[in-house]
Amino acid sequence: MNIPRTIAGSAALAVCGVAAYGLRHLSLDVPPPYWGGILAAVTVHAAIDGLLPRPLVRSAARRLWRPTASLALVAVVLVVMGYFLKISDTYSRLWSVYWLGSAWLCLSLLETLIPAGPRHKRLILVGDAATTGAFGQQLKDDGQAVFSTMTMAELLDWLASRDDIPSHADEIVLVGAIPTEAERSALILALHGRSIGLRYCVDLGPVLHTGGDGCVAGRPTVPLLPSMSWSDNAVKRLEDLILGGVLLVLLLPVLAVIALLIRREGPGPVLFRQRRLGMGGKAFTIYKFRTMTPSAGAEAEAPQVKANDRRVTRIGAVLRRYGLDELPQIFNVMRGDMSLVGPRPHAFPHDVKWSETVRGYTRRLQVRPGITGLAQIRGYHGLVEKQEEIEARVSLDLDYIRSWSLWLDLEILALTIPTLIRRSQDRLSAGRP
């Protein structure tokens, strides 16, 4: 979180609320209900400010989406609170328009005047010296990044010796040959629970010609950047923030009850956390309700859950049957790690395996992973037992990326609940958790 910007934004929001009241009522004697609304808005704004992502490099036009998303979410939360507390009629609608309009102008100005922070990512290039040397030198000469170069063995030693990795680097980039299976397993264990990005820059020199737009430092790369235009990406992010904010408010009682049931069933954490690959190959921590025994979470490359799996708890079986274990991912959506709709994120070992065997698999990383998706409403969910099944899922994921629209997202969301009902009935009849 950029603390100076958060404080300045919260102060501007409060000042605009008072000024809007003065403009509407020609008085600065603000009554207590209005002070309560202003305080609630400032609190919500400060709470979500750290959750809204700030791209490292942004044009002037791209700066406008962030204050728009922030105020839209504040407005949604206040409307929902006003409805349930039955106090909506207390406030002037014209005051609200004046307030939000002036606040948007002030927050947009702050986005321009207060620096967002460093512009360059700090990269760790991993590979042999010959491969990383020229690549890293070119990046340094172009001023694109501050970086370090390591071999895989040096990286594993470095990860094992440090707890504050985000203070040293933003992203790890594997360059050249794909790591061995033993190296991949060691890397999975080392990165578990660490907040740092991970990307692949595969050595495609023997296959593709060097040079051109698809190359960095003269080496061809696999594109893992978002395929959407910035405007489409902004619309989708705003969709996630508005709909996600409403869902979060509505689901809080359900989340609390489920957490209490898991806690009462026995020892172990309420939430299951696991590293997954998100948009652009950046690693993030996904949240789920824990449905298995605590010891199962320690397995770095644990097998997929099957019928009558002894690792699944009694409450966990119910949660998995109705898809309720996925509900905490609404927090991933609000953080910007995930979207409400998109390709489902898989466990890291499966990403490694399927990226080598399924054509186009890595293109799924062009967008944020989703809680639900086109593949899920078409019946592809849960255990993958055959190569044809994962290929069909990937094909639908790529169809979604190519044909994305706001209306497609809304259609998928509308069909998700009926799909979950059919899925729970199928699981119940098959005796699966």
Looking at residue 128, which CATH number applies to its domain? 3.40.50
Q: Are residues 285 and 396 in the same domain?
A: yes
Residues 269 and 408 in one domain: yes
- What is the per-residue pLDDT for 288? 92
Q: Which residues pair with 122 in a beta bridge?
A: 146
- 338 and 401 part of one domain: yes
**Look-up: residue for tokens 């491969």?**
131
Tell me which DSSP letter residue 138 carries. H
Q: Are residues 285 and 421 in the same domain?
A: yes
Residue 267 and residue 214 share a domain: no
Give me Rg for the CA atoms of the chain.
24
The DSSP secondary-structure symbol of 361 reads G
Tell me the C-alpha distance between 113 and 5, whole Å.
9
56 contacts 118 by C-beta, under 8 angstroms: yes
Nearest to 369 by CA among 339, 404, 410: 339
Q: What is the pLDDT of residue 211?
A: 43
**pLDDT number for residue 51:** 62
Q: With CA atoms as reference, report the closest residue to 67 among 105, 119, 14, 95.
A: 105
Q: Which amino acid makes up residue 367?
A: V
Over the chain (433 residues), the average pLDDT of each successive run of 10 is: 72 90 88 90 80 52 74 86 83 90 87 58 77 72 66 83 69 74 67 63 46 44 49 83 88 92 87 84 86 66 60 85 90 92 88 79 85 89 78 90 89 89 67 54
7 and 90 fall within a common domain: yes
Say if residue 246 is in the same domain as residue 97.
no
Burial (CB count <10 Å: 0-12, 13-18, 19+), residue 161: exposed
Whether residue 245 is contained in a domain is answered as yes
Q: How far is CA 316 from CA 182, 261, 272, 331, in A?
A: 32, 10, 11, 20
User: Encoding tokens for residue 198?
Assistant: 């991970």
3-state secondary structure of 178: coil
Same-domain pairing of 272 and 172: no
pLDDT for res 222: 43
Helix (H) or strand (E) holding 219: strand 219-220
Co-location of 13 and 70 in the same domain: yes
- Would residue 41 count as lying in a domain? yes
Q: How far apart are CA 316 and CA 314, in angstroms?
A: 5
pLDDT of residue 78: 86
Phi, psi of 341 (to 5 degrees): -125, 135
Do 243 and 382 fall into the same domain? yes
Phi, psi dihedrals of residue 292, rounded to the nearest 5°:
-120, 170
Question: Residues 139, 249: one domain?
Answer: no
pLDDT computed for residue 50 by the predictor: 62
Q: Is the pTM of this model over 0.85?
A: no
Decide if 289 contacts 254 (C-beta within 8 A): no
Q: How many CB atoms lie within 10 A of CB 350?
A: 16
Looking at the 3D structure of the chain, how many domains does it have?
A: 3
DSSP E strand stretches across 283-369: 283-289, 339-341
Q: Which domain holds residue 104?
A: 3-113
Task: Tell me whether residue 225 is in a domain.
Answer: no
